Amino acid sequence: MTIRRFLIFAPILLIIVLLQSYFWVPTYEEQTKGNPQRLNEYIAGSIGDASLLNPILTADSASSSIENMVFEGLMDRDEQLRFRGRLATSWEVFEEAYFYVNPSADVPGLGKADPQDVANFLKNAKKKKNAITTGLKNSLDYITSISVIPPRNYSVTKELKSPDTGEQKKYITINIAAPARIKLVLNRVEPNFFQNLSYLLGKNYFESFNGKAYLMSDSEMEKGILDKYAGELLPAVEHNPVLLFHLRPGVRFHDGHLFDAYDVKFTYESIMNPKNLSPRIAGYEPVKSVKVMDPLTVKIVYKRLYSPAMETWGMGILPDHLLNQNALKKEAHRLGKDPNTFSMRQSSFNRHPIGCGPFRFQEWKSDQYIILDRFDGYWEGPPNYKKYVFRVIPDQLTQEMEFYAGTIDSYDVQPHQVKRLEKDQRFQSFSGTALGYTYIGYNIRRKPFDDPRVRRALGMAIDMDKIINYVLYGQGEQITGPFVKQTDYYNHNIQPVPYDPQGALTLLSEAGWKPDKQGWLTKDGSKFQFTLITNNGNDLRKAILAIAQDSWKQIGIDVHTDLLEWSVFIQERVNKADFDALILGWQMGIDPDLYQIWHSSQTNPYQLNFVSFKNKEADDLIIKIRQEYDHNRQVRYCRMLHEIIAREQPYTFLYVGKWTAVLDKRIVIKTIDDTGHIGYKKITPTKTGSYSFYFNKWIKLPEAPAFMDEG
């Protein structure tokens, strides 16, 4: 019977065809050991794929890891976290300070003075060198030039948003008759400059300047509106910090085009261009102007003091000649799109990036791999590896299997996998303190969390050692404040909140919470009870949730817990500040700017100070930190701020995790000295925990080298 035969033979044939393919497949052995090419490739495994390969358009980590290879910024941070020149060879930080001459103010020893008099007065004071305070003396010393800007008339148009609807737009024109202004160039940035100067010009010289008097509007409107703009349009004093970058000559993009200052200007303009929707715009908003002085010098002037500015110039520089208006128009025509709406976001550049980093882009297959080839014309000398491959393997177990087989060199290793791998002779493992921390945040708007004693007591009831040992398998460290632990900003003198349930009870009873007959803490007849929440899907947080609940129950606090899906958690609870206490984590950058998380102006719904931490001293320090350019002073402010936050305990700071990485032992650092002698060194992580800092010098050897133990 044919039907019967068919039914039997069809599946057998199918199975044979499928199975025989086994004999055609190269084994792992052939791919790795038997393949000398493999030693020149570095294959990194990743859970997720990149989105776009354009540093100004993306902020996700997968994209950034590729962008860092393809693009290069003006500077980065070295092993000690100091700034290090990359595309810039050196830079100068100084300041242009302005103030309006105040005709109504009395200058001590000069009376009411006209602009030229004030300028001369300052020049003389600088010459005399007998200033009242050292601050003033230093400030005067910093001045390198003084000039007078004559008065000028101009007008600006402002868009008026009606406060009720926010919809109706009205435009008003304000005519400004700006008085004369004095421009001072300092050889550094001095946030206290005008404060010091007021010893010389009179205490109220700057405060009493009435900007409103110089504003006129042709249309009738409420008085308040002009007042509002006076401070913005005619500020009595203005700091304009300047960054002057000297660029590295002879650096080329991967297509051979020379890099110059116009590329820097172009990158800045692209970020600011609203059409591009760059997620990095916030860091560049304080920039007033970017000016190309000559092809290798670029001057960046800021509107106000903004010390995180330096960090932002690590941004990869885009090639002007491939992405400017003309280039985009041409591309739009080629693709048959409307050139007026075509923006950098649509450009094919984002999938074929060209930068001046150590690796040049080769190929990208979505959700499979990205291949980069080394760039032989890299200014610092080409990397040792010929190829960098980024493989997308979304499953952790298969990642580990591929790692064992040798077809990927690194992957996102989990703490429990490290335990398994670190005993293996074939691998070297690294670990260090990470940049993010986990905390319990209390909603200070609600009672009883408005009492710092209560918050501290809650922290004292939790045994952090246990959490680190049993939840994190030891892959974490205690943390006492909001700064990155391995930086200078972190105040190591602050002791962590001790584990002391008895002490916690004492503190609580000071705050009025006494145990009742059943052992529950009560105050004025009401029980101490609240709900602790966190997001679902994070097992560590879930475990901490249970531990905290149990620890607090033991001292008589009735705690309920709730796990919420991430978006519900954020939208309904965090953004609307509808919670008692929550467990969450922050990823930190090296820069110590904490404005958005801790400043009291950021406590509204949808802002990040959702615990509503308000402290005047802390506010001042936060502003000072983001205005201070001097590292030592910044460190001092940060440590003071750290102390305040540790004292107030708006969060119970729990721990900072550890990052871990595992590599084949055969991967080493290869160096060639001036005499051509080749040396090999073991890979060691830098102080800040970047094991791949010297990645360009890495290479894989056929055999694992034997290193002397370096103690």
The nearer residue to other proteins, 26 or 150, going by C-beta atoms, is: 26
According to DSSP, the β-strands at 297-302 and 237-247 are antiparallel
Nearer CB in complex with other proteins: 31/549: 31
Q: What is the distance between the alpha carbons of residues 286 and 593, in angstroms, rounded to a whole number? A: 14
Contact flag: residue 274 with other proteins (CB under 8 A): yes
Q: Which of 154, 606, 680, 707 binds other proteins (CB under 8 A)?
A: 606
Interface mask (CB under 8 A) for other proteins, residues 185-224, using x and -?
Answer: ----------------------------------------
Q: Is 339 in the site for other proteins (CB under 8 A)?
A: no
**What character string, x for contact with other proteins (CB under 8 A) and - otherwise, covers 51-90?**
xx------x-------------------------------
Which residue number, 396 or 522, has a Cβ lying nearer to other proteins?
A: 396
Give the number of other Cβ atoms within 10 Å of residue 387's Cβ.
17
| Residue 615 DSSP one-character state | -
How many residues does this entry show for the chain? 711
User: 137 with 192: CB under 8 angstroms?
Assistant: no
Instruction: Select from 279, 436, 498, 519 the one that contacts other proteins (CB under 8 A).
Output: 279
β-partners of residue 46 are 392
Nearer to other proteins, 450 or 572 (CB): 572
**Residue 16 near other proteins by CB under 8 A:** no
Residue in 26, 36, 163, 224 binding other proteins, rule: CB under 8 A: 26
Element (H, E) at 231: helix 223-233
DSSP one-letter code for 512: T
Q: Is the preceding peptide bond at 515 cis, omega within 30 degrees of 0? A: no
Q: How far is the CB of 414 from other proteins (least distance, A)?
A: 15
For other proteins, the binding residues in 567-586 under the rule CB under 8 A are 567-568, 570-572, 574-575, 586
Q: Is residue 214 within 8 Å of residue 177, measured between CB atoms?
A: yes
SS (H, E, C) 306-374: CCCHHHHCCCCCCCHHHHCHHHHHHHHHHHCCCCCCCCHHHCHHHHCCCCCCCEEEEEEECCCEEEEEE
- Min. distance of Cβ 393 from other proteins in angstroms? 5
Q: Which residues pair with 118 in a beta bridge?
A: none
CB-based contact 52:59 (threshold 8 Å): no
Contact flags string 549-568 toward other proteins, x per CB under 8 A: ----------------xxxx
| Binding of residue 600 to other proteins (CB under 8 A) | no
Q: Using alpha carbons, select from 494, 495, 513 the residue that is nearest to residue 455.
A: 513
Residues 530 and 528: their CA atoms lie apart, in Å, by: 7
Select the span of 172-180, 391-399, 492-500, 612-620 touching other proteins (CB under 8 A): 391-399
Among 104, 153, 155, 366, binds other proteins (CB under 8 A): 366
CB of 230 to other proteins, least distance (A): 23
Longest dimension (CA), the chain: 121
Query: Total residues at the site for other proteins (CB under 8 A)?
Result: 68
Q: Which stretch binds other proteins (CB under 8 A): 18-26, 167-175, 208-216, 446-454?
A: 18-26
Residue 278 or 551 with smaller CB distance to other proteins: 278
Give just the sign of the alpha carbon dihedral 108, 109, 112, 115. negative
For other proteins, give the closer residue by CB, 374 or 456. Answer: 374
Span near other proteins by CB under 8 A; candidates 238-246, 359-367, 374-382, 455-463: 359-367
Residue 309: which of 244, 232, 237, 238 has the closest Cα?
244
Determine the distance from the C-alpha atom of residue 154 to the mean position of all C-alpha atoms in its chain, rounded to a whole number: 39
How near is the Cβ of 158 to other proteins at its closest, in Å? 16
- Amino acid letter for position 406: G
Contact code string over 252-271 relative to other proteins, x by CB under 8 A: --------------------
Least CB distance from residue 280 to other proteins, whole Å?
A: 7
Q: Smallest distance, Å, CB 148 to other proteins?
A: 36
Alpha carbon distance 657, 346 (integer Å): 38
Give the nearest distance from C-beta 552 to other proteins in angstroms.
26
Instruction: Give, as ranges, the residues between 27 and 46 that touch other proteins (CB under 8 A).
Output: 27-29, 31, 43
Q: In what order do the strands lie in the sheet with 698-700?
A: 678-681, 667-672, 698-700
Choose the binding region for other proteins from 22-30, 322-330, 619-627, 696-704 (rule: CB under 8 A): 22-30
CA angle 327, 329, 332 (to 5 degrees): 110
Which amino acid is present at 146?
I
Question: For residue 235, with 0-12 CB atoms within 10 Å meaning exposed, 13-18 middle and 19 or more buried, which class applies?
Answer: middle
What gap in Å lies between CA 640 and CA 153, rounded to an integer? 45
Phi, psi of 312 (to 5 degrees): -70, -20
Q: Measured from the CB of residue 394, what is the shortest distance to other proteins in angstroms? A: 5
Nearer to other proteins, 179 or 406 (CB): 406
Collapsed DSSP state (helix, strand, coil) of residue 560:
strand
* Residues in 398-427 at the binding interface with other proteins, rule: CB under 8 A: 398, 401-402, 405, 407
**Residue ranges in contact with other proteins by CB under 8 A:** 1, 3-4, 7-8, 10-11, 14, 17-29, 31, 43, 48, 51-52, 59, 274, 277, 279-283, 285, 345-346, 350, 365-369, 391-395, 397-398, 401-402, 405, 407, 565-568, 570-572, 574-575, 586, 596-597, 606, 608
